[in-house]
Structure 1
Amino acid sequence: MLLSVSRILRRKNLLVTGGLDRIIRVWNPYLPGKPTGVLRGHRAPVMYVHVAFEENKVFSMSADNTVKVWDLETHGCCCTISSKASGIKGELTACLYLPGPRALCVATGTLAFLHLKVGSVPESHLVRSHQEPVVCCRYNPAFRHVVSCCEASVVKVWDFETGRQVSEFIGTHGNAGITCLTFDSSGRRLVTGGRDGCLKIWSYNNGHCLHTLQHDENQSEVCDCTYMEVNRNRCVIAVGWDRRINVYFDIPRDFHHFRKPQPHWQDDLNHGHKEDILCVAQCPPFLLATSSYDGEIIVWNVISGHMYCKLNTPSPMDGQDHREGPDRSVSQLAFLKTRLTKLDSASAALISNGPGGSVCFWKLFSGSGLVANFTPSREKAQVSGIVVTSGDTLAYLADQHGFIHVYDIQEYGLQGTELQAPNTVTSWRAHVSMVTSLELIEGGSIVLSSSLDCTVRLWSQDGAYIGTFGQNHPWDVFTPDSWGHPRVPFEILTDPRSMPTHRVLETDVPAGCLEGRQEQDHGTEEKDPCEAEKTPNPPSPEGLTVEAEAKADKSRWAAFCHGRLLSARRKPRWKMPELRWPSIYQALRCHELAFVSALGEKPDLSVPGSDLFPVGFCSQETEAALPERKKLSPWSGFLPEC
C-alpha cells in the first residue's frame, strides 16, 4: 500500500514512492514495469517523501519519526536522524520540506523545525583536530594536557608537548552539545557545561562521570562556568539562559551523583541580569564579573553575594545596521589582576568586548566607568577571545575572522580616560573561522587557540606557528626546529582574508588618488585632489587651444577621481598628496606631413662594424619647418637635433 506523498521531478523524469513495506522506490514514469532504484533502510512505514532536485537528494520520514537523506545518484543513505536525536515525539501528522531555509517542518504533538546542514567534504591535505566545530579548549598544567570539546559532544585529550591524542570520550551530554569547560583547583577533574542545562564533573582520564550538577527548574542552556575557592570553600559557578548565578559547592565528602545549586543571592534576584548571561570571570579572592546579552556587566562580591558595581556598554556606533536591533551583547571578560591590589585606584581593571567589534576598558574603583574604547579589527569583526599576561603587560584579542591581535597595555588606562588605542605589538591569522577559545601557556610564551574551523593550534607569543593538534608529525614544543614555522596552515595561506593589508589593496581608487583629502582651514575653498599644477600659457594660438583641451580633460579626470574617492573620504587618517602633473599637458596631435624622399646609400654589409639600419637624412624643407614645430609641440625639450 502506498502511503507516502510521491513527487514527480520533470527535469530528471523521476517518480519517488514509499509505503508500508518500508522501502523507497525510484521510478521512470515512462517505464512503469520496474523501479530504477530501491532505497532500503527505514524500520517503519514511510510516511513522507520529498525530492530536492537542487541538491540531488531525497528526504524521507517514517512512522517512527526517523528522517533519512538519500543521494539520487548513488542511491545511498547520506545521513539518518533518529527521533531521539531530533527530539520529535508523538504521532506524525504532517511533514513539509522548505527549500529556502533547507529545513524539514514536522508536525506531531508539537511543531518541529529541522535545519539540515550539509557539511563540506574534508580535504585530505587539511589537518582537523575534530570532525565538528570546536567550541572550547583548556590547558591542564597538572598533567600538561590540552582538553578540547566540539559541537558533537566529543571530548579529546591531547599531549601538550607533542600534539598527540591521548584519549577521547563521546556523548558527554547525550544529544546536547558542550558549551564550556573548566578544571577543578587540583586539575584532576574536568567540569563541562552543556545545552541540556546541566554541568558534569569528570575524571577525564578514563571518561567516568563523577557528579551531575543541575537544578529542578526548567533546564536552560549553560553558557559559561568557572571553578572558584571562597573562604576555603570550593564551588562551581555557572551562568546561562536562566539569567541567574548558580553556585554549586564542591564537597569532597558528598558522594551523591546529583547535586543542586545553593539558594540564589538576594541581589541577584532583585537587581540581577534581565537578559541571558553569556560570560563569567573571576578575580580571587572575592570578585566575580558577569555579562549579558543586553550589554550589562555586573561585578559581584562572592563572599557576601552583594553587587559591587554595574556597567553598561556604549551604544553601537553610527552607521551600523539597526534593522534587527543593535547587538550590544558582551561575551568576553578579563580582569587586570595586578591593578586590583589597590582598591582606590582609578586605573582600568576590567576588559570586555563590545558592539561593532570594539574593546572596552573599565575602572572599578574611584567611581566605576568607561576608560577606553577602540576597535582592533579593520573590518569591525566581533572580538571572541580576551586573555592577558600574568603581569598585565600584553593583551591578546581574537576575533570572528580568526585573527589574533596583541597590544601593549602596561601603561594603558593607568591615568584615566584614553582617547587612542594602545600600541600594537603584533597580529597574525590563526584560523579561517571564529576563534572560540584563547589561552596563554608557559608564562605567556605559548598561545593556545581553537576555532569553529575544527582545529586546535599552538603558537608562540609572537605568532610563530607550532602545529595543529592531530597532525601526522608530532612536535617538540621546546625545540623550535620541530615547529611548523615559517610555514602556516594551508587554509590560512589560501584564504582571501589572509591577504596582506596595503592601501593599494584596500581601495579601488587609482594609484595617484589613494590618500584621503587634506584637511582645509575653515573659510577656504577645498582644493580638488586631482587638480594639476598651473603652468604658463604657451605663446602661440595653437598652444592656447591645446591648453583649453587639457583643462577640459583634467576637469573630467578630477570628476572621475571625485566620484571614486567617496569611500576614501570616510578615512580621515589618510592624507592625499597633490598629483605631480607635468608642466605641459601631455597630448598627441595629428599633423599633415609632406612626403619627402630622403636619399641614402645602402650600407655595405661586407664591411665589419657597419650599421645594419638605414640612415635617414633631413631635407632642407624639413630643416626649415622644424624650429616652428618645436615651439608648438609640448615635447619640444625631447625632440632631437638634426
Structure 2
Amino acid sequence: MSFDEFFSSLKEATGQDYPRSDVEELFNEASYLQFVREPIMRVLALSQSSPMRYISVSKRGTLIVWNSNLNNIKPLERNASHFNKRHYQRSFQGCTTDAVYMGNVHKIAVSTLTRGIHFFDVTTTIGFEQVHLFGLSHAATALCYWYDTEPFKGIFKIPFTNKPGPLQIFMPHIPKIHSEPINRILYEPHDELIITSSESPASSVVIMDVNQKRAKYIWRTEKGVKCFDFSLSLSLLVTAGVGPVVRLWNRFVTSRPTAVLHGHKTSVVDVVIHQALGKIFSYSKDAVLKIWDIPSQKCVKTFHLKFPNIQVGVTPEQGSFPLLLNLTADPVLLVTCKEYLAVFQLTESNKTKSNNRSGLYTCALYNPHLEQVITACADSTLTVWDVKTGIKRMEVRNAHGKEEVSCMTLDVHQRRLISAATNGTIKVSVWNLLNGLNLHKLETVSNTEVTGIICHHDDLLLATGWSRQIAQYSIAFSEDIYVKAELSWKSGQQHREDILAMDHCLDLGLLATGSYDGEIIIWTLALQKPITRLQRSQQGKVHPPVHRLLFLQKRAQQSHLRSGALLLSSQAGSICWWSIYGPRHNHGQFYVPDEFDESVMGLSTDQENSLLVTGDTTGSIKVWDISHYALSAGDMESAKELPPLLHYWRGHERAIVSSEVLVYESRLFVLSASVDHRACLWTCEGGCVGCFGQKQQWDLSNPDTYQSNRERTSPIKKEKEERTEDSQNPAKHDL
C-alpha cells in the first residue's frame, strides 16, 4: 500500500482529512526578520507564557527575548550576584550546544561543552540561574524535555539554603548508545521511546524503549544522520544526512526507506513534520526551504530565503537546529541562518484538529455470544461493533481516563468485558456489554502496566504484567463496585523480569506466563504454583522476550495428542512450539515475517487447531496449516520444517497488534487491528470484508457486499450492463 492509499484509508477509517491543496496559502511570506550579533544555536517558544514569547540562544550563550513579531527585543539579563561576573560569563560563553524550554516550571535548560547544563528561570526578564548540573562524563550535545501533567517533584523543589549561587547537582554517567556524538534526541511519551541520531553509519538512528524492555530499532545509513523528526501516529521517521536527500522510513522497517525525496542542492540541515497537514518541511545549507506532501511524496513549494548574510557562491553558516515549528494558537515556522532570525506566519485556512491517539488501536477481540467485535484505542476508547454489518453499536470514551487500554478479555458468560490500562497507574474495570455501565473497578497491586487478563471458571479473574505478580479477583457474585485483589499466588519471585504474556488451558488446569527475558512458566490453577519451566533464563544465554502465548485447546482435549506441542509462544518473530509433558519440551520453531528483525504480535487458531493465523509488525497476515504439525513427542522431523502456508496478504500498512480467528455461520474469518488506525475483517483467503467504521456497511452473510468483492465485480457488472444496453439499442453501433 502506498502512502497515498494509506492516507485515503486513514481518512475513511478516522474521518480525518489531510489537505492536499496548493501550499501557496500555507504561508504568509517571512514578514519578520531580525538580526542578532552572534550565530543562533536554538530558538525556543515559551508556549506556556502569555503573550507568546521566543528566546534565541546564541553560540556564545547570549539569551534574547522576542515577541511574536520578532520586535521589542531585549537581552535576557542573567543574574550573576554572588559570583564574579566576569569569571561567570567567561566560563559560560562560547560553548553552547543546545537548549530546551521546560514549560511546566517556566525554565530553560542550556547545555555547554563544559559538560554542564544550566537552568534559567524565565518568568521575568531576568534569567536567574537556579540550577547547574555538572559532572557529566561527556558534553550534552542534544536536549529534549517532557513532563507529566501530575504535580512535579524533583530538582526544582529547592530547599532553603544560605549558600550563595545556583544549586549544584552531580550528574552520573549515562550508558553509551552511539559511537559518534548524538546530534538529536527526542522522547515519545505515548510509547515511552527515546529516539537519538548521530553521524555514525553503524547507528545512524536508534529507537529504544526507555525501560529497556523491548528490542532496539537501529537504522544504518552511509555517513549517518544529522537531523530527524518522528510522528508516532503516522509511524513515520524522517531523516537527513550529509547529502541533499530526505528519507522517509516506516517506524518498524529499518532495512530500506519508504521514500527518498530529491530536490535540495546542498546538505539538508533540518527537517520537521507538520502532522496535521500531512506535510514535511526541510531546510538546506543554502537557505532553501522545501515543503513536501507526505501522501504523494512530492515537493509542493520551494522558498529561497533571502537572508542579508547570504553571498553569491558562499554557503552561510547554519546552526544545529535552524527550524522551529510552533503549533500554538498562531502557528508559525521560525528559521535561523547564522545571526538572522525569520518567521513565517502559517495561515489558519488549512488547519485541522485531530486527536493523534484517536483510532490508534491497541487490541481487539471477538464476542461470539453477542456476535460483536470490541476494539480498544490508545485514547482510552472502547468500541463495540456488530460483526454482521460493521456498524458501531456502542462506544465508551475515557474508559480509563487518559490511559491507554493495554489488554482485554471476556467473562465466562461473554456478557462482560474486562479491560486494563497502562501508562502508570493500573485500572482494571468490568463493563456491561449491553449498556456500557462500569460494573466493577478492581484493586491495583502496583503502579505498573497490566499485560494479561484471563477469566476462568466461577468468574475468577487473573491479571498480571510488569509487577511480576499474579493477582486474582472474584467477580462472580460481587455487588461491590470496588473488588479487592487476592495475592494468594506466590509468584513474586518466580519471574525475574516483567511478565508480557499469559494464556490458560481449562482442560488441563494450567496457566502459562512468559516474561521479557524469554522465560516461560507453567502453573497449576488448582494449587496456584509453578510445575515446570519451558525456557529458563540463565546467565550468559539470552532469550527473546515472549510477546504472545497460545494454548492449542483442542489438542489438550484429546489425550493421545497431549504428548505433542500444546503451547505456542511468539518471540522476536519466531513461533516456538512447546510440549507440557515429557523430558523434552521444545518441538522446534520457525520465523514468520518476511523481513528481518520483526515481531509477531497476533497469534490465534481455529477451534479445531488446524489453522494458525499470525499477524506481524510489517502488517502482514499469514494462515498456516498446522493440522499435522508437531503432533507427538517423537514427531520432531515435522517441526524442523515450516508448516504449509495456505494464504498470505499485506493487511495493514503498519504493525498488527491483534489478530483473531472467528466463526460466523460456520465460516471462518480473521479479525485484525493495527496501529495504522484500522481494524479490519478478512476472509481466511485474504479477501477484505471491510474496515470497522467505514461508511459503507457489509452483510457478512452476503459475500457480494465484501469490500474486495465489490471492487472485483463492479467493472464486470458495468460491462454486463453496457452489453445489455447495446442489445436493446442496435442503432447505437451505427453511430
- d(CA) in 2 for partners of 1:314 and 1:60? 42
The CA deviation at 1:26 is 5.4
More deviation in 8-17 or 372-381? 8-17
Deviation readout 1:394-439 (Å, 9 max, x if unpaired): 1111111111111111111124213211111111111122211111
Where does residue 584 of structure 1 map in the other structure?
A: none
Measured on the aligned residues, the alpha-carbon RMSD in Å equals 4.4
Q: Runs in 1 of length 4+ with deviation above 3 angstroms?
A: 7-22, 25-29, 32-39, 57-60, 62-66, 81-94, 113-130, 204-207, 342-345, 486-489
1:258 to 482, 499, 505: 482
The CA deviation at 1:447 is 0.6
Query: How many correspondences in the alignment?
Result: 427
1:438 aligns with 2:659: yes
The CA deviation at 1:181 is 0.6
1:485 partner SS: helix
The CA deviation at 1:209 is 2.0
Letter in 1 for 2:660: E
1:182 partner SS: strand
The CA deviation at 1:473 is 1.2
Alignment of 1:130-529 (within 5 A): 131-195=358-422, 196-215=425-444, 217-229=445-457, 233-252=458-477, 254-266=478-490, 268-269=491-492, 272-285=494-507, 286-312=509-535, 326=542, 328-343=544-559, 345-355=562-572, 357-380=573-596, 381-415=598-632, 416-417=635-636, 418-442=639-663, 445-485=668-708
Deviation readout 1:593-627 (Å, 9 max, x if unpaired): xxxxxxxxxxxxxxxxxxxxxxxxxxxxxxxxxxx
Where does residue 12 of structure 2 map in the other structure?
A: none
- d(CA) in 1 for partners of 2:370 and 2:692? 17
CA change 1:17–1:10 in 2 (3 A) is: farther
CA change 1:22–1:359 in 2 (3 A) is: same
CA change 1:372–1:463 in 2 (3 A) is: same
Taking structure 1 as the reference length, the TM-score comes to 0.58
CA change 1:284–1:444 in 2 (3 A) is: farther
The CA deviation at 1:264 is 2.6
- d(CA) in 1 for partners of 2:487 and 2:542? 34
The CA deviation at 1:476 is 1.3
Structure 1, unaligned stretches of length 5 or more? 1-6, 40-56, 67-80, 106-112, 316-321, 490-642
- d(CA) in 2 for partners of 1:138 and 1:429? 20
Would the aligned equivalents of 1:128 and 1:470 in 2 still touch at CA under 8 Å?
A: no
1:476 partner SS: coil
Which protein has the larger Cα radius of gyration, Structure 1 or Structure 2? Answer: 1
More deviation in 345-354 or 286-295? 345-354
Letter in 2 for 1:335: F
CA change 1:87–1:236 in 2 (3 A) is: farther
CA change 1:488–1:198 in 2 (3 A) is: farther
More deviation in 217-226 or 291-300? 217-226
2:103 partner SS: strand
1:137 partner SS: strand
Deviation readout 1:310-335 (Å, 9 max, x if unpaired): 101799xxxxxx9xx95611111111
CA change 1:27–1:192 in 2 (3 A) is: closer
Would the aligned equivalents of 2:45 and 2:52 in 1 still touch at CA under 8 Å?
A: yes
Taking structure 2 as the reference length, the TM-score comes to 0.51
- d(CA) in 2 for partners of 1:27 and 1:314? 52
2:568 partner SS: strand
CA change 1:189–1:9 in 2 (3 A) is: farther
CA change 1:326–1:455 in 2 (3 A) is: farther
CA change 1:313–1:22 in 2 (3 A) is: same
1:248 partner SS: strand
- d(CA) in 2 for partners of 1:354 and 1:377? 12
1:477 partner SS: coil
Q: Percent identity?
A: 25
CA change 1:413–1:89 in 2 (3 A) is: same
The CA deviation at 1:387 is 0.8
Structure 2, unaligned stretches of length 5 or more? 1-34, 58-63, 72-98, 109-144, 159-166, 168-181, 190-209, 212-228, 235-274, 279-294, 297-353, 713-735
CA change 1:290–1:118 in 2 (3 A) is: closer
CA change 1:306–1:103 in 2 (3 A) is: closer
Report which structure shows greater RCO (CA 8 Å, sep ≥6).
2
- d(CA) in 1 for partners of 2:396 and 2:70? 37
Would the aligned equivalents of 2:687 and 2:708 in 1 still touch at CA under 8 Å?
A: yes
- d(CA) in 2 for partners of 1:326 and 1:302? 29
Would the aligned equivalents of 2:362 and 2:376 in 1 still touch at CA under 8 Å?
A: yes
2:184 partner SS: coil
Where does residue 100 of structure 1 map in the other structure?
A: 184
Would the aligned equivalents of 1:14 and 1:26 in 2 still touch at CA under 8 Å?
A: no
Where does residue 619 of structure 1 map in the other structure?
A: none
Would the aligned equivalents of 1:386 and 1:398 in 2 still touch at CA under 8 Å?
A: yes
Would the aligned equivalents of 1:158 and 1:164 in 2 still touch at CA under 8 Å?
A: yes
Would the aligned equivalents of 2:233 and 2:360 in 1 still touch at CA under 8 Å?
A: no
2:612 partner SS: strand
Letter in 1 for 2:512: A
